[in-house]
Amino acid sequence: RLPPARGRFRGCLAGALLGDCLGATFEGREVVALPELLRFLRGLEPPGPAGGSGEEADGKETLCYTDDTAMARCVVRSLLAKGEFDQVDMARRFAEEHKKEPDRGYGMAVVKVFKKLLSPKCSDVFEPARVQFNGKGSYGNGGAMRVAGVSLIYPEVQDVKKFAKLSAELTHANSLGYNGAILQALAVHLALQGELSRESFLEQLIGHMEDVEADDKSLADARAMGFEELPFSRRLKKIKEFLELSTVPKSDVLLELGNGIAALESVPTAIYSFLRSMKSDPDIPDHYNNLQRVIIYCISLGGDTDTIATMAGAIAGAYYGEEQVPPCWEQSCEAFQETEMLANSLHELYCQR
């Protein structure tokens, strides 16, 4: 079969950047009121006859990216430099990037991993992650938030799973962390193939995750954290139920899927946001396209807005392609010009495999 078009690769990286930069403005807020969010978005549009006021145009400032994009770019640059996954190179890039710009909003615990990775005594790059949280490993969403590049270089689903896991394990040794990265990478992989219905998109994800979560460590980690078996697969089935309803209150989404910094409380939420936004939303003005609707919906949920929106943005960007990336949104984001170059190079490598 023909490889996916280059515009999907560009859409993926641009969607991820948008989600992070726009979402970061609202990160950590318990409630995000839609009118305030829509007002903020109008401020990014060029002033026109019906556009924003002069004041908004003057006040336009660059929206900075956070740890999500900083690490996502380490993943991409490492894959491009080595032509494949290289654990030592990727680990070094994470640690050096953090050392160079430590104030990008990193998770509290992951910083310890970066410091150990820079030590000359570190001979196994997976070891610092394994000893986090008294040997339990992190279940944060940091492995998932940065993983999209893996799906943009490996065409085969088995490789996507394998290298999503390894790239996440550099910082997240708990299976509730790295399984979230596998799920996010699978979602980007499927989105890249294009015109899948939302039913078959979900069915394929459930099929993969029931297999991924059936291994001994996943079963043991879920039990140790007090979760039911196959927690990601169960949430995917909950998404299926939600999509069959005509409306789902935000409170139900937060209760069943979450908006937190754990991968389990954010990756399924990102996937749900992508899938529900295939249809129009009475609360979101119709002039916004599907990709914009995805990002608006994610941010409206509050909590870890930058990370949920960056994950959903990567999926939606891969699915809809760069045509749905609004220039005025993109140009508001720090270092947006780099996505195009990185995406073009990833597309080239993907096509050579």
Write out the residues near Mg ion by the rule CB under 5 A.
66-68, 105, 304, 306-307
Smallest gap, in angstroms, from Cβ of residue 43 to Mg ion? Answer: 21
Indicate which of Mg ion, ligand 8NA, none lies near residue 351 (CB less than 5 to 8 Å, by partner kind): none
Return the closest-CA partner of residue 7 out of 319, 278, 288: 319
Separation of CA 249 from chain center: 23
Q: How many chain residues interact with ligand 8NA (CB under 6 A)?
A: 22
Contact pick of 9, 26, 114, 139 for ligand 8NA (by CB under 6 A): 139
Residue 304 engages ligand 8NA in binding (rule: CB under 6 A): yes
Q: Which is nearer to ligand 8NA, 221 or 322 (CB)?
A: 221
CB 4, min distance to Mg ion, A: 17
Residue 28 touches ligand 8NA, criterion: CB under 6 A: yes
Write out the two tokens for 186: 């699978």
Q: How far is the CB of 221 from ligand 8NA (least distance, A)?
A: 9
What letter does residue 322 receive in the DSSP assignment? G
Q: How far apart are CA 103 and CA 248, in angstroms?
A: 37
Burial of residue 120 (CB within 10 Å: 0-12, 13-18, 19+) is exposed
Closer by beta carbon to ligand 8NA, 132 or else 339: 132
Indicate whether 136 belongs to the interface with ligand 8NA (CB under 6 A).
yes
What does 138 interact with, of ligand 8NA, Mg ion, none (CB < 5 to 8 A by kind)? Answer: ligand 8NA
- Cα angle value 23/16/18 (rounded, 5°): 50
Among Mg ion, ligand 8NA, none, partner that 141 touches (CB below 5 to 8 angstroms by kind): ligand 8NA
Q: Is 109 in the site for ligand 8NA (CB under 6 A)?
A: yes
Among 4, 142, 155, 268, binds ligand 8NA (CB under 6 A): 142
261 sits near ligand 8NA (criterion: CB under 6 A):
yes
User: Smallest distance from the beta carbon of 304 to Mg ion, in angstroms?
Assistant: 4
| Candidate residues 107, 219, 250, 278; the one interacting with ligand 8NA per rule CB under 6 A | 107
Residue written as tokens 């996937």? 271
Rounded least distance, CB 292 to Mg ion, Å: 15
Smallest distance from ligand 8NA to CB 295, Å: 15
What span, in angstroms and rounded, lies between the C-alpha atoms of 139 and 267?
12
Q: Decide if 19 contacts 309 (C-beta within 8 A).
A: yes
Q: DSSP string spanning 141-200?
A: THHHHTTHHHHTT--SHHHHHHHHHHHHHTT--SHHHHHHHHHHHHHHHHHHT----HHH
- Residue 3 has a CB neighbour count (10 Å cut-off) of 14
Q: Tell which phi-psi region holds residue 61, choosing left (phi > 0), alpha (psi between -120 and 50) or beta.
A: beta
142: nearest Cα among 70, 216, 225: 70
Under rule CB under 6 A, residue 140 binds ligand 8NA: yes
Q: Please identify, using beta-carbon distances, which residue of 7 and 142 lies nearer to ligand 8NA.
A: 142
Kindly list the residues in this chain that would bind ligand 8NA in the complex (CB under 6 A).
Answer: 27-28, 66-68, 105, 107-110, 133, 136, 138-142, 174, 261, 304, 306-307
